[in-house]
A and B are shown apart, each in its own frame.
Chain A
């Protein structure tokens, strides 16, 4: 009898182990991306929360979202911070995006991003969501308001990103023709002209656009700043300074304008004024390498060697970061300084 009981126990243990093996093998196949094998093993495994979640993940991965969605939502709601919760959330997002259900995908991704802020998969899905929304909205815009100046404006912005400046310039001009009073169009056209070329002709044309923007909106600090930059290159530094001063007066925390003004003060050997401006810039933007560099030279020229050395050390630290290149890319998109 004892012997029969032991045999039964052994058999059930072996069966349990076989079931455990099925679950583990299913998970392993899932991790290898062998979804058909994963599904076969998982279906053999005894029911458990883990089995259900992995089966749902497998279904989602093979496009059977209808079968998977409820289980994924449950797992995600239960523990979104865990690795299984992260996987469930990502699979759920993928299903929702595939269905075009952006309204439900948005909150899931927002929660994932809060809990896993540096996760490449999470960030990738976020980018996809925004891209999809961008594409759909754009399509709608072209379909419903094909003749609006906004269509020309958005076309111009896309051309800019693609480095197709002549086309961008042409689209901005069409937009201005349709709505001469719209704000920001002249500014963007000026920027596109500068991106196309810094030839003397383009400098003249771009300056005209920035001035037109200022006519529409005299409180446009960015347009003041760009006008100042063109005047500087065109050998009119005194005039340029006036524009930088106005830009800073309009937007006191405008780092680029403050820095341009500081450089003018440096050229005029007005070191204390330059230092005050630059110290403000690095306070506003502690990672602004250019401002730290200017400040280092301002300290040096003012004879403040210890402060210059400190700024140099700061600069050394910052220059190890690769972020600069991406920042440059963003700048190229022509975004105005924040709060403009």
Chain B
């Protein structure tokens, strides 16, 4: 009897309606974020857009919002007022900055308990040190992060690759670009799209290489790209960065979604060196051995087998890519088998796994929009502004596209780029912040609370880096066993909530939480409450 009731409840949970609405205007996110041409784009720099971030900069327990801007405006920081509204605090927090802003990542690089920000640019990157939640200070030069030339920096992530307790920094580089030497639309064969002259590239433009900075532990960084082997991958148009210990050897690896070139999987050997092993490990190409136009990237153990899988968004006329980790960081492209092969008319960008109804299965959302506004002249089914896609995880290794019935927020059309995932009102439902080209951001929120129970884990490193980036969690609640990892960066040039969200269905208690800290400590917490934010501090020596 109990069993049949459980089945019935689960069935109800599985069938629950989802209704996402864009609440950006009500929340106070009304300023348009400029990013290149509106009707047409002359250069590739106008097409790649910018990221967004959820972070709690003042440790008040509420996620704030940071949105990266192109020229013509400034990046913006919005403080979460706690009533569903946000206030623009950019100026008073010292974050006004103009330029070709690209990506953002967050982490407490100086272990002072406040989350710092790193913003990438075509131009000069900026490291902002968080001064106890009262303002941000540009410490780029002081930290030794000034670059000796203009670079097209894109995705970034803080990670502790050597587990020394200090967050290092990885920065992806797209290509070498300048306005003077880059050909104009139509000037060569790489400047056309379906008979339309369009912004040239990335093909035909010179490659650049990615950068790894080691945190010296004294507020400064050292470029170790050459010594670590990161610089060896130099035939890739690198965009988004995803970190994770994909082979469970205790060291953080780095995956980089690359445009029109093989994506990169830097395997961390634990001695300060990395090797790109994406090809033999099956994560470079699609299942036809073809390099796709990788844009955004997300990770989750979507099938709950204990191994972190990877999702990558791609260009139109390409499938999205779901790489299943068959163990030990060997991947199979299971896009077709997972039911994700139908949405080939979208250019995908920001993406993330989230449990929309707290059943304990990670669903997937990605945002879209073509790179060329000119494409709308063609009258085909590919559009500059397009809707998002929401896939429900059936729990059988397959996903079902429920976009059309997932509410107006999903169906709104924008040329979206960055997307960040986080629960800004701590109600157990994950919201999505989206950076749209030349429009105000979107803030997608479910109109009703998901039926399942949940928990948000805020981890705090002691011997490990304070942000706990790289900590791996195994959570057991009733029959549900889930894993996740704290990570910086991800999605498309964006930063998700550093806290880990778990839906636990009908479970009323969390039986067990096991944490593998970057320090090597293995910590176990038992019998925890659901439906709340739980802070777990590292117990060194555990």
Cβ-defined contact, B282 with A233, below 8 A: no
**Which A-chain residue is minimally distant from B289 (CB atoms)?**
A293
**Pick the contact of B285 from A267, A293, A308 — CB < 8 Å?**
A293
**Pick the contact of A233 from B279, B332, B336 — CB < 8 Å?**
B336
Residues of B near A235 (CB, < 8 A) are 339, 398
Tell yes or no: A237 within 8 A of B by CB. Answer: yes
Cβ-defined contact, B195 with A309, below 8 A: no
Tell yes or no: A192 within 8 A of B by CB. Answer: no
Tell yes or no: A113 within 8 A of B by CB. Answer: no
Residues of A near B142 (CB, < 8 A) are none
Q: Give B338 Cβ to nearest chain A Cβ, in Å.
A: 9
| Interface secondary structure of A, over-half rule | helix
Per the bound structure, the CA–CA distance linking A292 and B339 in Å amounts to 25
Tell yes or no: A117 within 8 A of B by CB. Answer: no
Tell yes or no: B330 within 8 A of A by CB. Answer: yes
Tell yes or no: A33 within 8 A of B by CB. Answer: no
Cβ-defined contact, A300 with B330, below 8 A: yes
Per the bound structure, the CA–CA distance linking A339 and B339 in Å amounts to 33
Residues of B near A297 (CB, < 8 A) are 282, 332
Cβ-defined contact, A290 with B289, below 8 A: yes
A contact residues, range: 20 to 34
**Which B-chain residue is minimally distant from A259 (CB atoms)?**
B288
Residues of B near A292 (CB, < 8 A) are 289
Tell yes or no: A312 within 8 A of B by CB. Answer: yes
Residues of B near A130 (CB, < 8 A) are none
Per the bound structure, the CA–CA distance linking A289 and B289 in Å amounts to 7
Per the bound structure, the CA–CA distance linking A289 and B326 in Å amounts to 23
Q: Give B11 Cβ to nearest chain A Cβ, in Å.
A: 21
Per the bound structure, the CA–CA distance linking A300 and B288 in Å amounts to 16
Per the bound structure, the CA–CA distance linking A301 and B380 in Å amounts to 41
B contact residues, range: 20 to 34
Q: Give B307 Cβ to nearest chain A Cβ, in Å.
A: 15
Cβ-defined contact, A296 with B285, below 8 A: no
Tell yes or no: B345 within 8 A of A by CB. Answer: yes
Per the bound structure, the CA–CA distance linking A301 and B282 in Å amounts to 10
**Which A-chain residue is minimally distant from B400 (CB atoms)?**
A235
Q: Give B375 Cβ to nearest chain A Cβ, in Å.
A: 13
Question: Given A237-B337, A300-B280, A300-B330, are A263 and B381 also a contact pair (CB < 8 Å)?
Answer: no
Tell yes or no: B91 within 8 A of A by CB. Answer: no
Q: Give A291 Cβ to nearest chain B Cβ, in Å.
A: 8
Per the bound structure, the CA–CA distance linking A235 and B332 in Å amounts to 17
Cβ-defined contact, A312 with B280, below 8 A: yes
Residues of A near B336 (CB, < 8 A) are 232-233
Per the bound structure, the CA–CA distance linking A301 and B334 in Å amounts to 14
Tell yes or no: B25 within 8 A of A by CB. Answer: no
**Which B-chain residue is minimally distant from A297 (CB atoms)?**
B282
Cβ-defined contact, A294 with B287, below 8 A: yes
Q: In chain A, residues 194-250, which have Cβ atoms closer than 8 Å to a Cβ of chain B? A: 197-200, 203, 232-233, 235, 237
Question: Given A293-B289, A297-B332, are A198 and B280 also a contact pair (CB < 8 Å)?
Answer: no
**Pick the contact of B287 from A163, A203, A263, A315 — CB < 8 Å?**
A263
Nearest 6 A-B pairs (CB), nearest first? Answer: A293-B289, A290-B289, A290-B288, A198-B344, A233-B341, A289-B289
Besides the contacts A289-B290, A290-B289, A312-B279, what 12 more A-B pairs have beta carbons closer than 8 Å? Answer: A163-B195, A197-B380, A198-B342, A198-B345, A199-B345, A290-B288, A290-B290, A294-B288, A297-B282, A300-B330, A301-B330, A301-B332
Query: B-side interface residues toward A, CB under 8 Å?
Result: 194-195, 279-280, 282, 285, 287-290, 326, 330, 332, 336-337, 339, 341-342, 344-345, 380-381, 398
What are 6 A-B contacts defined by CB distance under 8 Å?
A: A198-B342, A199-B345, A232-B341, A290-B290, A300-B330, A309-B280
Query: A-side interface residues toward B, CB under 8 Å?
Result: 163, 197-200, 203, 232-233, 235, 237, 263, 267, 289-294, 296-297, 300-301, 308-309, 312, 315
